[in-house]
Structures are given as C-alpha cells and as structure tokens.
Amino acid sequence: MVDGAAQVLTVTSSPVTQGPWSGDACSLVEAFRSGDITPTEALELSLAAIESSDLNAVVNVDEEGARAAAASADVDLPFGGVPIGIKELDPVLGWPRTEASLVFKDRVSDFDGTMIARLKGAGAVPVGQTTASEFGGINLTYTRLHGATHNPWCHGRTPGGSSGGSAAAVAGGLLPIATGGDGGGSIRIPAGFTGLFGLKATFGRIPKGPHTEIEPLTAVLGCLSRSVRDVARWFDVCNGADEYDPFSLPRVEGWEAGLGTHDLTGKRVVVSPDLGSAFVSSAVVERVEEAAAALIADAGLVRVDVPVKVPRGGLEWAMAGTASLLVGLEDLYPACEQDLTPEIMFACNIATRHFDIGIAKAVEQYRRDCIQAMAGVFDQVDFVIAATNPDVAFDAKGPLPTVLDGVDLAKEHGFDVALGNQGALTIPANTTGNPAAAIPAGTVDGLPVSMQVIARHHAEPLLLDLALTMERERPWPLLAPTAPR
C-alpha cells in the first residue's frame, strides 16, 4: 500500500532549454507557479517540436489561439497554461470536425465538447488536433486524410488507435498530455503501444455531450498521459454529470487528493493474460506475468485461481459500431465509399448488405454473455490482470496482423477471429462498462508491453492506486527513447 498522498511520485523535467517539457503535466504547472518557465515559453517549445517532428501526430495546429490562451493563462488553475493535444474526434469550437475522414474534410465544429469546455475552464491551452483512426473504428492510425502516424519508440510502427496521435504526441515529447477516447480500447491500446498510462473509466464518468449520441454504448472519454497523477487531475476536472448526457454519472471529488490513500492489502486478483479467449504472443505473456507478480507483491494483493473465459466478440462489437456510423453518414453513403479507408468500407459493406435480425441478435447475445462472464469473475475477485495488446506495435500502415508467434490465426481460426483478436483484450471492458487501466510493463524487442488491470464498476480510485504502486516501485520512462528533451 502507498502510505499517503504525500508519497505520490513526483515527476520532474529536465531543463527547458534542452527541448519541450519532458515531465508530466502536473510538474509543468508546478514549474509555472514557481516561475521556472512561463506558459508562453512552454508552448513555443511544443510548437517547435511539433514543427520538426516526423511522427505525423499533430495536425491543424491553432498557433494563434494557443498563443493567446498561453499569454493569458491563470497558472493557479489545475491545468493552467499546459499545452494539450485534442484528438481529432473531439469537437472544438472553430476547429475542423472531420472524424478523421475525407468524407467530412470541410466540416467545422460549432461547439466545444463538454470535456473540452471543462479543460479550457481549468486553464488548459489547446494547441492542435492529434490524429486518429477514421471514425475511431480501428486500432491503427492511418487514414486517407492524414496518412500514417508513427510510434515514437520506432518510426514505421503504429502507435495504435484510435487515439494514436495523442499517444505519439505525448510519448514523443511534443505535448505533455492529450485527450483520448475509448470505445473498444482506443485509450488503452495506444497507451500500451507507446509506454504510457491510460485509464478507461466506468461508462458515463466523463460526459460525452453536448449533442450526445446514445450509441455506441461502449465509448468513454479520457486522456493519454505520462503519469498517474495527471490522469487523476484530469478526472478531477472533467468528471461529473451533465444534463446533455443522460448516461453521465454524478460528480466524484478528490481524485488527485485521494491518490495513495486506499488499502490494497488482501485484495483478490486473478491473472489471465488472454482473458481465456484471446491469442497473445508468448513474449507478451511472459512480460505480463512478470509485471503482475511484481504488482501483487508490491501492493500486497492475493492471487487466486479463478476461471476466466470472456467470450470473443470482435465482429459483434464492429457491427454494433458500424450501425451507428451509418446513421452518422446518412445519405452520403454509399457515394462516399471511395473516401473511406478499406477497413471502414468493408465494415459498412457488411453492415448494409448482411445486417439482419440474426446479426442483431448475435450482437445482443454477445453483450449479455460478456456482462454475465465478467460479473461472474468479479463475484470472486477485485481485479483481473491481462495483457493490453496481443503483441507489440505492428506496421504503421497496417494491415492488422493475423499471424502471431508464427501461427496464421486466419487459417487456424477464421478471418473474423484473426482480425477481432487485435481488440479482443480491450473490447470486453467496453462492453460491460468496467473501468480498466493500461500500465507499462516493460519491453519486448525494444517496444513497450502493457499490463491491463480491470476492476469493478466505479472502482477507478483503486486502479489509480495500483498503477501508482507500479509507478513508484518500478518507474516507467515518461518518454520514448527518441523523444526530444
């Protein structure tokens, strides 16, 4: 157990003359308040880093707006003066609202999302949009609109998706923190591929309004960050009910203040790297088992042997999301097909030509089975530890890999299982609404590996303290080795 909030890891930065801020967002606010650096100076360093970067992580930079916000920043606010990236799926007043698609390349947002408005109110300085996968539909950030985004740990590898640009920008040293969203793993997958900490909160924790779309009932909002306390502060700022989102949860206070105050001793945990149904590389399983053993020892957890068998549901999840996508495209589809990425086009074709009552029943059956399976496990444990991704980051331009440890999953188990395996570890928590965290767990062949911890609904404070234990006892690098400093 961490004995108290005073023992929360303090993350500092190297001197600002060496490059953009290399600490976390909270330490940058502390530096503003002490006078070591000004918001304007920090912004200019980030703008210069973005300009010289080859990651293709930040697009549509709002230099004028950012400079005005930095010049007038109130550093006494939680994120006062901190330059942040905004995932291009998050609406910002006056910014492009493309959904990362050529279909909407000329559309401009006429409102701020609730999360964005709250961040602005907390003093954050929006700098520009971070790249995402088209409509957030795939864990690969490569679109017809912006091309490929690269992983700062290895140029040519993907940072994942759909929040890939946010992850690349934060791990790559361009911005200290950035927004993310997670409908099937889109915070945890990129965090896992780039060595960051990512939290998918309980469904409804941060409102999705205004103009809330009810479906898909899996998506949540959050951030990509270098430290646990940054995430805690983010939720202090952004959580809380909103009348424009009927599914939003009541506000909870004290996320950052409560860090390190929860007794984890004796909490029960089951370690299931594959959740009983996914295919995970042997090297990743080894790292996850090592990290899990370390966390169990450091936090005083009790490992128990409980059967875990979460049903596969990649195809069902994709069909449910594509139905919502088709509603958004309205009468633009199918004429816009040539503007879509191949994966989105394929999903739309399947949904329009083959979506019938049978598929609808299969989607609902998967949802029920997944909820039943997860609830059954949490009747017996407090946490489930699994891998975040089946393997390390793959090619930045795709395609999604279907071979693992030399086994052709498509040939052995079918093409739908092979493709669905890329999100098989993260989709379940979205389907059930449980909170889940991606925690850095070492490397394989020089690329990050991530351990995923899933908890009961509304138990994010315990997840944060588990992650804090790892951060304190076994610190992870805040930046990719190639990031500017």
Instruction: Give me the pLDDT at residue 144, please.
Output: 96
Least confident of 292-306, 328-342, 361-375, 418-432: 328-342
d(Cα 229, Cα 191) in Å, to the nearest integer? 16
pLDDT digits (tens, 9 = 90+) for 30-53: 999 999 999 999 999 999 999 999
Domain positions in the chain are 5-313+359-473
Mean pLDDT of 412-441: 94
How would residue 17 be classed by pLDDT, with cut points 50, 70 and 90?
very low
What is the layout of strands, in order, in the sheet containing 447-455? 58-59, 125-130, 83-87, 177-182, 220-225, 197-200, 436-444, 447-455, 383-387, 268-271, 302-303
| Two tokens, residue 223 | 């951030």
Task: State pTM to two decimals.
Answer: 0.94
Q: Within 10 A of 47 (CB to CB), how many other CB atoms are there?
A: 22
Active site members: 87, 162, 186
Q: Within 10 A of 170 (CB to CB), how many other CB atoms are there?
A: 39
Which residues are CB-neighbours of 190 under 8 A, at least 6 positions away?
139, 141, 159, 160, 161, 162, 163, 164, 166, 167, 168, 180, 196, 198, 224
pLDDT digits (tens, 9 = 90+) for 230-265: 999 999 999 999 999 999 999 999 999 999 999 999
| Two tokens, residue 86 | 């905004």
Question: Are the C-beta atoms of residues 268 and 305 closer than 8 Å to each other?
Answer: no
Question: How does the average pLDDT of the chain come out, rounded?
Answer: 93
Residue with tokens 């609808």: 360
Instruction: Give me the pLDDT at residue 355, please.
Output: 61
Q: Does domain 5-313+359-473 have CATH number 3.90.1300.10?
A: yes
Asked whether the predicted pLDDT for residue 11 surpasses 70, the reply is: no
How far from 213 is each of 101, 217, 219, 289, 418, CA to CA, in Å?
19, 9, 10, 39, 30
d(Cα 247, Cα 228) in Å, to the nearest integer? 26
Question: Are the C-beta atoms of residues 221 and 208 closer than 8 Å to each other?
Answer: yes
Mean pLDDT of 112-128: 98
| Two tokens, residue 57 | 């992580």
Instruction: Give me the pLDDT at residue 55, please.
Output: 98
Question: Are the C-beta atoms of residues 423 and 445 closer than 8 Å to each other?
Answer: no
- Amino acid at the residue 222: G
Query: What are 130's strand-pairing partners?
Result: 58, 87
pLDDT digits (tens, 9 = 90+) for 208-220: 999 988 777 899 9
Query: What are 404's strand-pairing partners?
Result: 407
Question: Are the C-beta atoms of residues 90 and 118 closer than 8 Å to each other?
Answer: no
Instruction: Give me the pLDDT at residue 108, please.
Output: 98
d(Cα 70, Cα 79) in Å, to the nearest integer? 11
% of residues, the chain, pLDDT over 90:
81
Instruction: Give me the pLDDT at residue 364, please.
Output: 85
